Amino acid sequence: MKSPGLNSPVPDAFFLQPCLELAPQLLGKRLWRRQGKVELLAEIVEVEAYLGERDPASHAFRKTERSSVMFERGGACYVYLSYGMNYCMNVVTGKEGVGEAVLIRAAAPIGALDRFYKNRGLDRSKPARLLMNGPGKLTQALGIDLKFNRTRYGEGDLAIVEGERSYSKADIGRGRRIGISKATEWDYRFWVKGSPWLSRKET
């Protein structure tokens, strides 16, 4: 039996919650993306929370031109270029003026995989788990780039929509964020326990 509202956009109030409360709730939600005539879906399985001025690892630690989108009203999309090579996508959370966002690190592809392989430039002989098991791979698979920065989820060709289920605390793993050099001890990463689509093996 399917959940009511499957694949319908999440309500606006969802984005207004505090970042650390919202982040685990994002697990099981889906990214919806219309790319030309094709509609793409992927279920979020791994995220990281980035707070504002009290989080040295966050781009919003200082309010700059780049990070200003993180201070917008929850539901904004923050995309930035990482290492000059990959795009990373975030869900801005909280009320306007609060500089918080959730980085989407990994997702499970839903439906036909052809477009995902094509967007990734991956040969079909490669395992599907390589399609979205990292923040840069995820954006590439979905065709997300800087054009989406400062747009709002649910207003264009990109949305966060309801999935088939939400995960309880027992189903969610929690640990340190990956790839940062500051505040490395903070457990702000959340993932779906046992998912084969994570960016790395669970430890």
Among 20, 128, 180, 183, binds DNA (CB under 7 A): 180
Element (H, E) at 114: helix 114-120
List residues bridging with 140 in a β-sheet: none
| Span between the terminal Cα atoms of the chain, in Å | 33
The answer to whether residue 101 forms part of the interface with DNA (CB under 7 A) is: yes
The reply to whether 136 sits near DNA by the rule CB under 7 A is: yes
Inter-residue contact 26 to 153 (CB < 8 Å): no
138 is a site residue for DNA (CB under 7 A)? yes
| Number of residues in contact with DNA under rule CB under 7 A | 37
Identify the CA nearest to 200 among candidates 122, 116, 137. Answer: 137
Is residue 189 part of the contact set for DNA (CB under 7 A)?
A: no
Footprint of DNA on residues 20-79 (CB under 7 A)? 48, 50, 57-60, 62, 64-67, 70, 78
Cβ atoms of residues 48 and 178 within 8 Å: yes
Site for DNA, rule CB under 7 A: 48, 50, 57-60, 62, 64-67, 70, 78, 80-86, 88, 90, 101, 103, 120, 130, 134-138, 177-181, 199
